[in-house]
Amino acid sequence: MKSTKTVKEAYTFLGLTLAFSYFVFWGPLALFKIPTISFVSDVRGPSWAIGLYLAGGFVPSLLAIFLTWSKEGLTGLRALGWRIIQFKVGWRWYAFTFLVVIIGTAGQLIIDKLLGNTFNGYLIGAQLGSFLPLLVLGPLSEEIGWRGYALGRLQTRWNVLTSSLIVGLVWGFWHLPLFMMAGTSQHELGVPFIGFLIKMIASSILYTWLYNNTNQSLWSAILLHWLYTYAAQVLSSGVTRSPLYNWLECLPYVIMALVVVLIWKPQTLSRPQKTLAYTDVKSDSSDDVHSIGTLFKKTMYDFCDFRNYLAELGIFGQERKKAIGLKKGKMT
């Protein structure tokens, strides 16, 4: 019964997010071809249109916060906020987060190179001034909704791979009006929507993989989104766009998603297998990195305390002799 209720909450959130995008914020701007503001060209529209465009980007997170408050009150908001600042995810998952973006970006640069183009590496550091603002535009404005609200609830009904595909599909279609709005990178760079949608679905699998292996830490999703947004901005300013490149740029993320699904099982996208649906995080569901660390420290403690170790071994030996003696007595 709870599963049905929570998955309906996810469907409601996803439906409302699309409705706000299509009928309130971005849809009307696209329909009437009203320019907003561009980060890749000199296009600039009226202030009210820019405000509507920017506000539309915050719909997923703001709607998730409102729905959480309306259903769970302040307790639910505190739990949601705690997951945002859940920074202790293990060094391995920090490394994986950076690797996803590094491999994805390197793959796209290789595609650009194979097409006979060159990329100015100076651009990677030249745009660092925009790195902090990009935390808000995308990561914080979206992830509280996609991963923080929808994903966990979907996992109460569907397996992790299916849940990821649902989120990725809606996540991609949520961006659809941007492809028809003058000034957006999707419109100005001629990005094909189908290629973009494939990349969003593949990326959704990678986000879920990190999210589920870090005890549902929203910080892991926010960090990945943050790094990806910066890398995408740098690439957009330096690669030579062509119809072929625009179709092929999704390949590195598709390949990584396939590797993750093959190595980590589609039921949970985690190893060892564990249930990671919409539940409160308990101490016994800590990630494998934390578990291994705890076991290592306990083992080192036992071996370092040599006297106790010998004493325990001696006691064990005596008890074992007694047990063997009693067993022999019964046999005779």
Residue 44 phi, psi (nearest 5): -150, 125
Same domain, 200 and 324: no
> Which of residues 41 and 106 earns the better pLDDT score?
106
Tell me the residue range of the domain where 316 lies. 294-331
The yes-or-no verdict on residue 274 having pLDDT over 60 is no
> How many structural domains are present in the chain?
2
Highest mean pLDDT, choosing among 222-226, 239-243, 285-289: 222-226
- Please state, as a whole number, how many other Cβ atoms lie within 10 Å of the Cβ of residue 324: 10
Distance CA 283, CA 115 (A): 50
pLDDT value of residue 192:
95
pLDDT value of residue 1:
58
Same domain, 101 and 199: yes
Domain contains 23: yes
Q: How far is CA 235 from the centre of its chain?
A: 21
Same domain, 318 and 189: no
- Domain boundary pick from 280, 302, 321: 280
Of residues 328, 329, 117, 128, the one with CA closest to residue 240: 117
Write down the mean pLDDT value for the chain. Answer: 83
Distance CA 203, CA 251 (A): 11
Q: Percent of the chain, pLDDT > 70? A: 80
Domain contains 286: no
Place of tokens 């003058």: 182
Same domain, 172 and 311: no
Confidence of residue 265 (pLDDT cuts 50, 70, 90): confident
Residue 259 phi, psi (nearest 5): -65, -45
Confidence of residue 290 (pLDDT cuts 50, 70, 90): very low
Same domain, 304 and 158: no
